[in-house]
Amino acid sequence: MEQMTLLEKALVKVKENGFKYTKKRETLLDYLIKRNRYVSAREVYDYLNEQFPGLSYDTVYRNLREFCEIGLIEDTELQGEMKFRFSCSGNFEHHHHFICTVCGKTKEIYMCPMNFFEEQLSGCEIEGHRFELYGRCENCQKLNE
């Protein structure tokens, strides 16, 4: 049996969550998959506007937010701006990141510190969390030398 690509899996998830297929949505997801890092909504808009002249920035931003809500895209605030990336887990599973503050490159972190915090917060109900480490990746450190 053939393996589905990340884009194909993403488009299935889009449909399962009640969104219509459009070439613009496919192109948005494909762009994020290929970039494989956090990018600004403006970067996504600029790319899509080249492909689909006249496309509204609000439409791009709304799609990014909606795809975040269904777990297809991850968001973070980096240097005072919201950034987005395709969920790096093919199964859209829980994970954390190291994020380069210069280029936006990310590395997955394969452990979750929540057990430590849950022990210290007995009696509290934790409704969610986000754990990200920020710094400079190997390539950006070399550029500063």
- Assess contact for 71 and 85: CB atoms under 8 A: no
Structure-token match 């969610």, residue found: 128
What DSSP designation does 103 have? T
**Extended beta strands in the chain, E state:** 39-40, 73-78, 81-86, 96-100, 106-109, 132-135
Whether 137 has a binding-site annotation, put simply, is yes
Residue of 71, 2, 83 whose CA lies nearest to 35: 83
Residue 129 known to bind ligand: yes
Distance of CA 98 to the CA centre of its chain: 13
Cα separation, 104 vs 113, in Å, equals: 23
Q: Is 97 annotated as a binding residue?
A: no
Annotated binding site for Fe cation: 94, 129
Annotated binding site: 94, 100, 103, 129, 137, 140
Annotated binding site for Zn(2+): 100, 103, 137, 140
